[in-house]
Structure 1
Amino acid sequence: MTSTKLMMSNGWIQAAEEMKIRDENLLDAVAKTATRELREDESTRRQCLRAFRDWVKAHQDIENCLTDDSFLLRFLRAKKFSIPMAQQTLLKYLNLRKKFKHIFYDLDCQDTKVNELMDKGYIFASPYRDNFGRRVILTIASKLDPNRFTSTDMARAHIITYETLLDEEENQILGFTYFGDGAKVGVGHVSMWSVTEFATLMKWGEQSCPIRHKALHIINLQSTFKYVIEFAANRVSEKLRDRFKLHSSVNEMLQFLPAEVLPKEYGGIMPMAEMIALWKKELASKRERLLSFDAMNLLSDRCIMRRRNRSTDIETLQGSFRKLEVD
C-alpha cells in the first residue's frame, strides 16, 4: 500500500477520489492487521467486549471508568484480546494516571504551555500515513526551549498527542511510527528530568499505555547524547528496543519512511505550518473527550500483579545522566 493522506484539499472531485482510494486501502490494511496480528474478528471482539465491560462495572476498585467500545478496545487490542492481560493493563493505566496526576490529568490542548509547544512544532502527527497505514508522530527537539518549558509541559504534550490518536480505532490496530530530530539537543533538555521520574515513566508507560509502538526513527542525534537513548532503551522491553533506529541523515531514513509523511522542510510536500494547523484541528475535535478522562479513578492498586524488577534499581542510576557534564 502506498502512503496515503488523512485530509485532502485539492478540489472536491479529486479529493473524493483520493479519499475513496485512501479509505479502501486503509480499511484493507486495518482488517488484515487486526486478523493477522491481533487475532481479532467480529465474534472475538463482541464476546471480549462484553466480558471486559462487565468486569469493569463490577470491579470495586474502579470508579467512573469509560466503558464505550473504543476505549475498551484499545486495551484488548494491545493485548491481542487476552482478557486477563487487558484487565491488568487497564488497572496499570489508571494507576499510572493517578501516580503521575500532574502529567495525565487535565489533558487540555488549549493549556498555554501545551498549545505553545504545538504551535512551535515540538510534537505533532503528520496528516499522511506511512506505507503500513500508520500515523506518524513527529518530535523536533529544537522546538522546545528547556529554559522556558518543564518536563511536565513536555510530557503532557506527548500524552495529549497519544490519547488523541488512540481514540481512533484504526490507530489502535495499526500502531504508530515515530520520527525524531535530535538536532540541538543540549544538556538543558536532559536535565529537565530527574532520573527517577524519567526511568519510571519509561518503564511504567510501556506496561500501562495501550499503544502499539511499531517503529522509531531518530536523526541528528549527537554522539554525546546517544547514551540517553541507550538509557531509555534499557528501561523498555527488548521488542521495543529493537524498533529504535538511529540514522545519520534524512536520506538514510527515507529508506524506511516515505518522504511525504515529513514536512516540506525535511523533504516532504506539505509545509510544517500546514501540518501543525491540521493537527491542532484534530486536537480540538478530541478535547472534550480527553478532559472527560479525569472522572476515572482507581481506588486501590491491590489487584495489580507485579513482577520482581531484575534490572538495576532506579536509585543506583542517579549518576547516569551526569556523563553529560564530563563528555
Structure 2
Amino acid sequence: MTTSTELLMVKNWGNFRNGSPCNKNPSEGGESLASLVESARRELREDDRTKKECLERMREWIKQNPDIQNCPTDDLFLLRFLRVKKYSLHMAQQTLLKYLNYRKIFRHFMYNMDCEDTNVSRIIEDGYIFVSPYRDSKGRRVILYDLSKFDLEKFTGTDLARVHSVTYESLLDDEANQVLGFSHVANVSGASLNHVPLFTVSEFAQMVRWGEQSVPMRHKKITILNLPSVVKFVFDFAISIASDKLKARISIHSSTDNLCKEVEKNCLPAEMGGKMPAKEMIKWWKMEMEGKRKRLLSFDEAELLSDRGIIRRRRPPPAGGDGDAGLAGSFRKLELD
C-alpha cells in the first residue's frame, strides 16, 4: 500500500506550519504555506486583520440572532462561509442562514451524517463516490464519482443524497480546501432512465439550486465523462438552474484519454487512467472520514428557528419553458413507465 508520506492530505494550515512530511506530494509539488496564504490573499482578499475582524463580527451576529440556536462558532466552521463569499460579511451571513435552512428542509439527508451508517459505508465501499488521496497540481482535492457503482436495487435517493452530504462535509473543515476549492470528476456512463425516479422534479431542482447557494464549497472544476444521450435532458435541466459561474466550469469528455489531458493521472483511480486502484483510494478516504465523524454528527444540534432573515431573489425560469413544468411532465411520464 502507498505510504502516507506520498499523499498530499492536508488537514489544516497548522500542518503546513509544522512541516509535516505528508503535506507534500513529490510527484505534484504540493502547496507551501506561503503559496496558500498568497492564494487566500489574491483570490479571497484575506489577511490576518480581515480574518480576525470578520470572525469576531460573525460570532457576535450569531450570538444576537434569535433565529439561530446551537450553531458552531469555531474558526474553521465560520471560515467556510467567509471564504466562499470572499469576506463579504453580509453575504457570508446570508450563506450561513441558507445553509442552516437547507439542513432544516432536507433534514432526511443533512442530519445524521454518519460515515459508519450501513448504507453510507456500503455506497462508498462500492465506489460510487470517494475522494482521491492526491491533490491536483493546483492543490485541490479531487472528488470522484462512478454512477455505475450505485445499486438501485439496494439504495434510495435519500441514501444517495446523504452520502454526498457526508463526503462534502468531511472536506469542508480543511483550510486548504476552503481556499483552493474542489475538482469533481464524474464517470456517468452507468446513468440510465432508472436513475430518474430517485427524486421528484421539484426536489431535484431544489437540491441543485439551493445546494449551490447554501453549501459553502468552491467548485473550481467539474469534469464529466461518458454522458449517455438518454439522460442528457436531466443534465441539461440541472445546468439550466445552475449559476453562470458554475456552468463555465463544466466540461464533458467521451474518453479517458481526453479526461487525462485535463485532470492529472495521479489524482485518478487506475480504472480511469491513473495509478492507484479505486479500492485503495477508498480505504484512505474512509480513514479520513472516520476522523471527521464526531464533528459532523455534532452539527445536528444546530437549528434555524425561522427563515425570516434570508433575503430571497426571484430567478427567471429556465430558457425554453415556464419554470419546471415542461420537465416535470417528462419526469412524471418516466416515473409512471
Match 1:132 to one of 122, 132, 138? 138
Partner-residue secondary structure (3-state), 2:306: coil
Alpha carbons of 1:323 and 1:216: their partners in 2 closer, same or farther (altered >3 Å)? farther
TM-score, normalising length from structure 1?
Answer: 0.92
CA contact 1:228–1:321 (8 Å) conserved in 2: no
Shift, 1:52, TM fit: 0.8
Alignment partner of 1:62 is 2:94: no
1:319 aligned to 2:329? yes
- For 1:5, the equivalent position in structure 2 comes to 7
Contact 1:113 1:153 in 2 (8 A): yes
- Indicate how the Cα distance of structure 1 residues 195 and 262 shifts in structure 2: closer, same or farther if over 3 A, else same: same
Q: Partner residue of 2:200? A: 194
Distance 2:127 2:153 in 1: 17
User: Shift of the alpha carbon at 1:308?
Assistant: 1.5
Q: C-alpha displacement at 1:163, in angstroms?
A: 0.3
Matched, 1:304 2:310: yes
- Give the match for residue 158 of structure 1: 164
CA 1:70–1:138 in structure 2 vs 1: closer, same or farther (change >3 Å)?
Answer: same
Residues 224 and 324 of structure 1 are in contact (CA less than 8 Å); yes or no, is this contact kept in structure 2?
no
Offset, 1:19: 4.3
Matched, 1:104 2:110: yes
Q: Secondary structure at the match of 2:198?
A: coil
1:52 aligns with 2:54: no
Greater shift in the superposed pair: 283-292 or 15-24 = 15-24
1:25 counterpart = 2:35: no
**Cα drift, residue 18 of structure 1:** 6.8
Deviations 1:90-129 (A, max 9, x none): 0010001001100100100111111100111110000001
CA distance in structure 1 between the partners assigned to 2:30 and 2:243 by the alignment: 34
Mapped partners of 1:139, 1:26: distance in 2: 28
Find the counterpart in structure 2 of residue 275 from structure 1: 281
2:268 to 262, 273, 287: 262
* One-letter amino acid matched to 1:234: S
Q: Structure 1 pair 90/120, CA: closer, same or farther in 2 (3 Å)?
A: same
Q: Match for residue 11 of structure 1? A: none
- Is the contact between residue 8 and residue 25 of structure 2 (CA under 8 Å) also seen in structure 1? no
Partner amino acid for 1:49?
L
Whole-Å Cα distance in 1 between the matches of residues 172 and 254 of structure 2? 30
Which residue does the alignment assign to 1:238? 244
Contact 1:97–1:104 (Cα < 8 Å) also in 2: yes
Q: Secondary structure at the match of 2:189?
A: coil
**Which residue does the alignment assign to 2:78?**
72
Structure 1: distance between partners of 2:32 and 2:102: 32
Distance 1:121 1:65 in 2: 33
Structure 1 6/319 Cα, relative in aligned 2: closer, same or farther at 3 Å? same
User: Cα deviations across residues 212-260 of structure 1 (Å, max 9, x unaligned)?
Assistant: 0000001111122222211111111011011111101111111211101
The amino acid across from 2:329 in the alignment is: G
1:316 Cα offset (Å): 5.1
Find the aligned partners of 2:165 and 2:144 in 1 and give their Cα distance: 13
Unpaired segments of 5 or more residues in structure 2?
A: 1-5, 11-18
- Counterpart CA distance in 2 for 1:293 and 1:18 is 29
Considering only aligned residues, what root-mean-square deviation do their CA atoms show, in Å?
2.1
User: In structure 1, what is the Cα distance between the partners aligned to 2:292 and 2:130?
Assistant: 14
When normalised by structure 2's length, the TM-score is 0.89
Cα offset, 1:21, TM superposition: 6.5
Alignment of 1:223-234 (within 5 A): 223-234=229-240
Query: Quick one: percent identity of the two aligned structures?
Result: 51
Tell me how many residue pairs correspond in the alignment. 316
Say which is worse superposed, 217-226 or 23-32, in terms of deviation: 23-32
Decide whether the 8 Å contact of 2:200 with 2:331 is kept in 1: no
Q: CA deviation at 1:28?
A: 3.9
CA distance in 2, matches of 1:166, 1:313: 32
Secondary structure of the residue aligned to 2:262 is: coil
Q: How does 1:84-99 map onto structure 2 within 5 Å? A: 84-99=90-105
User: In structure 2, the residue corresponding to 1:93 is in which secondary structure?
Assistant: helix
The alpha carbon displacement at 1:31 in A equals: 1.7
Per-residue deviation at 1:26?
4.2
Q: Residues 213 and 240 of structure 1 are in contact (CA less than 8 Å); yes or no, is this contact kept in structure 2? A: yes
Distance in 1 of aligned mates of 2:24 and 2:195: 43
1:147 CA displacement: 2.0
Offset at 1:313? 3.0
Alignment partner, residue 146 of structure 1: 152
- How far apart are the structure 2 equivalents of 1:214 and 1:271? 25
Matched, 1:253 2:259: yes
How much has 1:314 moved relative to structure 2? 3.5
